[in-house]
């Protein structure tokens, strides 16, 4: 169904985004049109390398079946963690313990029988958004993914920023509080320990116990914190959930302000699961950023926006890379 009848075959690629809670996969054509999308949830127990590889192989097989042309559909995979892009070597991944010094590009290529393009997941999300989403036409963008962890990617004068050995900027691990909370990366006080979904949950527990309670907080995820605020009638200064969300926004803005002064973006794009609460967190972050950035960096307008491709920014960006490398 995907081959044009005039003989000019439609080029397609498969993009897969590996996240702490699941895999998102898309079949995309060269115009960025998403032809098929799939989500494969992952439990904590399924984050082992073998389980994830099994799911990737199944997703690729399913998406290939949707494409009536050759089965040599190029594949790109967004990988969370400290990836040396040039060698396709994953040094470590805070949300996938045990994935260390893994030649992930090589392994996936062997698994699928042809070359697989791998890239840092936040970079993939920004490539997806700049191809077909909220960053289209923009040249100076900082993308921050807010989910199980905090990822960052930056376009500076239209170029995707990377450094030594193809490492990508990891703004989630800039130090926010000296000696603060333990982060999944092994350090203390990182932005990620405060601005991720689990980070908001910890902040909510702190706000809960500050009210003198002894019973544990009955919230299992960041979503529960937003739901508790809504159930209480919306933002209310005296409510634990609102205090937690406000602190969350200030912490995130503090971290983003550091990156703004380094990279001079004119757009901050929030992506990942927590960006679903953009209408609640976007305005306070915008206000806090204005107070934390020198005018030259936030005027005339430093826009804070939500990624437009929803949960699929990373998968679309991974497919874009695969198309480009094919
Ligand atoms: Zn960290």
| CATH number, domain containing residue 199 | 3.30.420.40
**42 DSSP assignment:** -
- CA 173 / ligand 1 centre spacing (Å): 4
Q: What are phi and psi of 285, to 5 degrees?
A: -70, -45
Q: Is residue 114 situated within a structural domain?
A: yes
Count the domains in the chain.
2
Q: What is the per-residue pLDDT for 70?
A: 59
State whether 53 and 79 are in the same domain.
yes
Q: Assess whether 87 and 231 both reside in one domain.
A: no
Residue-wise DSSP of 235-247:
--TTSHHHHHHHH
- Note the pLDDT of residue 69: 57
Centre of ligand 1 to C-alpha 72, Å, is 38
Residue 181 Cα, ligand 1 centroid: separation in angstroms?
A: 9
Residue 247 lies in a domain: yes
Residues with CB under 5 A from ligand 1 (ion): 173, 183, 185, 187, 190
Same-domain pairing of 60 and 118: yes
What mean pLDDT do residues 54-62 have?
94
Torsion angles phi and psi, residue 287, rounded to 5: -65, -45
Please tell me the distance between residue 179's alpha carbon and the centre of ligand 1 in angstroms. 12
Residues 173 and 111 in one domain: no
298 and 173, same domain (yes or no) = yes
4 in any annotated domain: no
**What's the chain's average pLDDT?**
93
DSSP codes, 46-109: G-SHHHHHHHHHHHHHHHHHT--S-S---EEEEE-SEEETTTTEEEE-TTSTT--SB-HHHHHH
Is residue 188 within 8 A of residue 179, CB to CB? The reply is yes
Over residues 179-201, mean pLDDT:
97
Residues 6+ apart with CB under 8 A from 287: none
What's the gap in Å between 122 CA and the centre of ligand 1? 15
Q: For residue 303, is it within any domain?
A: yes
Q: 121 C-alpha to center of ligand 1: Å?
A: 16
Tokens representing 326 are 């094919």
Closest listed residue to residue 78, CA positions, set 295, 255, 223, 272? 272
Residue 36 has pLDDT above 80, yes or no: yes
Q: Residue 186 has which token pair?
A: 């092994």
Question: Residue 94 C-alpha to ligand 1 middle, in angstroms?
Answer: 8
Residue 222 and residue 285 in one domain: yes
Based on the domain organization, do 78 and 167 belong to the same domain? no
Ligand 1 geometric centre to CA of 170 (Å) = 9
Question: Is residue 6 situated within a structural domain?
Answer: no
Q: pLDDT for 266-290, tens place per residue?
A: 999 999 989 999 999 999 999 999 9
pLDDT at 47 over 90: no
Residue 239 CA to residue 326 CA, distance in Å, equals 53
Whether the predicted pLDDT of 66 surpasses 70: yes
pLDDT at 104 exceeding the cut of 50 = yes
316 & 303 share domain: no
Domain identity same for 269 and 318? no
- 303 in the same domain as 251: yes
Q: What share of the chain in percent tops pLDDT 90?
A: 84
Mean pLDDT of 133-149: 96
Residues 243 and 317 in one domain: no
Domain holding 99, by residue range, is: 12-127+312-325
Task: Quote the ligand 1 centre to 316 CA distance (angstroms).
Answer: 27
């Amino acid at each position: 169904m995907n081959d044009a009848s005039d003989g000019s075959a439609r080029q397609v690629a498969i993009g897969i985004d590996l996240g702490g809670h699941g895999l998102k996969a898309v079949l995309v054509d060269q115009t960025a049109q998403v032809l098929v999308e799939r989500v494969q949830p992952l439990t904590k127990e399924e984050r082992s390398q073998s389980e994830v590889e099994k799911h990737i192989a199944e997703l690729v097989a399913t998406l290939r079946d949707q494409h009536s042309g050759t089965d040599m559909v190029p594949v790109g995979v967004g990988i969370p963690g400290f990836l040396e892009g040039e060698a396709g070597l994953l040094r470590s991944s805070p949300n996938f313990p045990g994935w260390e010094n893994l030649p992930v590009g090589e392994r996936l290529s062997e698994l699928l029988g042809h070359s697989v393009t791998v890239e840092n997941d936040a970079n993939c999300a920004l490539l997806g958004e700049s191809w077909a989403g909220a960053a289209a036409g923009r040249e100076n963008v900082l993308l921050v993914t807010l989910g199980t962890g905090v990822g960052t990617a930056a376009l500076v004068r239209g170029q995707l920023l990377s450094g030594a050995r193809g490492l990508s900027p990891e703004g989630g691990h800039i130090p926010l509080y000296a000696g603060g909370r333990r982060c999944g990366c092994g350090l203390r006080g990182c932005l990620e320990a405060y601005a991720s979904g689990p980070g908001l949950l910890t902040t909510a527990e702190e706000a809960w116990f500050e009210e003198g309670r002894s019973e544990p907080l009955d919230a299992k995820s960041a979503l529960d914190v937003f739901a508790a605020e809504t159930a209480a009638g919306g933002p209310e200064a005296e409510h634990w959930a609102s205090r937690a969300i406000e602190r969350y926004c200030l912490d995130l803005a503090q971290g983003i302000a550091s990156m703004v002064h380094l990279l001079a973006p004119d757009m901050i794009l929030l992506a990942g699961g927590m960006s679903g609460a953009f209408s609640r967190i976007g305005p306070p972050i915008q206000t806090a950023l204005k107070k934390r950035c020198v005018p030259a960096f936030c005027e005339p307008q430093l826009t804070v926006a939500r990624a437009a491709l929803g949960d699929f920014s990373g998968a679309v960006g991974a497919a874009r890379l695969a198309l480009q490398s094919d």
